[in-house]
Chain A
């Protein structure tokens, strides 16, 4: 089985519980960096990352522009900024216009990760209310990464996962427990 080096996760605010479950299921020292872009209120800067960190065994933080990323950490796109991966394995933030009415936009995190990290990524789309992430997941798949979509039957809102399935050729459609199992098998 091919193993991957990075994980990128996208969803809307409604996927908070799924992301929490993923983070609490990964062991201390889980080595793959995790990049998370979740739709969130642009005017509320604090609280989200702290809530995610409560049950997580790995460190969760909101990166600053030009921060490098490291194994064993999860990174959450900050409020009102897009989060992109730049050549040289560091982050950039941007205040560019909203994409799919979203800033941060999943498409930008996913497409920049696909561009820079090529076939080393697993892209995961969780529950969400618009089609953001579908184009980005398609780029991950086209660059040799693994496209994973949470089973729409398991999602409170299916729009995001259904759009991602439609945009990709051969996505892995998995329920949350299977997604966690897949991530655990990477080490």
Chain B
């Protein structure tokens, strides 16, 4: 918990400046969560005066990238919600064969956990060679983080726990290399990825992708951006393409009419 409490007017000023610099509009994020994160960053870097913090952001590109990086949590894990991944293996992968070219989109990437979970399972199911995965990181530092694919060792326990209930023959040692305080995804899984540096809301893909993996990003947006993001994603998907969102997330507004849920228990949808 943070001790510093930011005023609403300061938060608005900060978000307007950030939008001017990079186009990301944090005023469209879920209010309490984003406010708390700003307060945590101000406390971490010892800023009491928000104007001084804004000046630093404007004049120090590296600090700005750090700010964007820390505004987006890296708290996913390999195979989070293993039931969803099992469902993907059982219900979606069989719709594709090795002859198909499978185009997959992973927008708004932060840590790469979701991206590598997907690639590992595509590889095990003999689909990686004919898949092209477009990943759009939320910022430059996130891109580097995902490319490096080095994670703190404390996340290993979650990955192992998830593997216990996953339909896979892989063990944790098949997937990652260990060092003292971290682990790294093996090189063989860092392939067939195209990084798109544009924010996903500015992308121009139309009916491009067979699968969009978009889990636990919508929870950070307010209702307006949530719906706008889903509308954008719907445009990028081919007809009958698959959309996967987080288990705690839902379709809202007009987007409910654009998709059909293929299983009640998992948030896997098919574009109508």
Contact = CB atoms under 8 A, between A and B. Distances in A.
A80 interface: yes
A94 B31 contact: no
A97 B216 CA distance: 13
Interface in B152-170: 158, 161-162, 165
A128 interface: no
A96 B73 contact: yes
Given A43-B162, A94-B220, A96-B37, A78 B248 contact: yes
B256 interface: no
A84 B250 contact: no
How large, as a class, is the contact surface on chain B? 20 to 34
A65 B75 contact: no
Most buried by B among A43, A45, A103: A43
A111 B75 contact: no
Contacts of A111: 1
A93 B1 contact: no
B235 interface: no
A94 B249 contact: no
B177 interface: no
A81 B73 contact: no
A81 B215 CA distance: 13
Nearest to A132: B1
B33 A92 contact: yes
A143 B81 CA distance: 37
Interface in B204-259: 216, 218-220, 223, 226, 246-250, 252
A99 interface: yes
A92 B246 CA distance: 13
Contacts of A84: 30, 32-33
Interface in B84-106: none
A78 B269 CA distance: 21
B184 interface: no
Interface string A81-99: 1001111000011111111
A98 B250 CA distance: 23
Contacts, number: 74
A87 B36 CA distance: 14
Given A78-B248, A93-B248, A45 B83 contact: yes
Given A65-B219, A107-B1, A86 B248 contact: no
Interface in B136-192: 158, 161-162, 165
A86 B73 contact: no
Nearest to A116: B32
Contacts of A107: 1
A102 interface: no
A112 B218 CA distance: 19
A107 B80 CA distance: 23
Contacts of B218: 65
B32 A112 contact: yes
B252 A86 contact: no
A92 B250 CA distance: 12
B1 to A, nearest CB: 4
Contacts of A78: 247-248
Contacts of A65: 218-219, 246, 248-250
A98 B73 CA distance: 11
Interface string A57-68: 000000011110
The 10 A-B residue pairs whose C-beta atoms are closest, nearest first, are: A92-B30, A93-B248, A135-B1, A65-B219, A64-B250, A112-B32, A95-B75, A96-B73, A93-B219, A94-B33
Interface of A: 42-43, 45, 64-67, 78, 80-81, 84-87, 92-99, 103, 107-108, 111-112, 115-116, 135-136
10 contacts: A45-B81, A65-B248, A84-B30, A85-B32, A86-B32, A87-B32, A92-B33, A94-B219, A94-B220, A115-B32
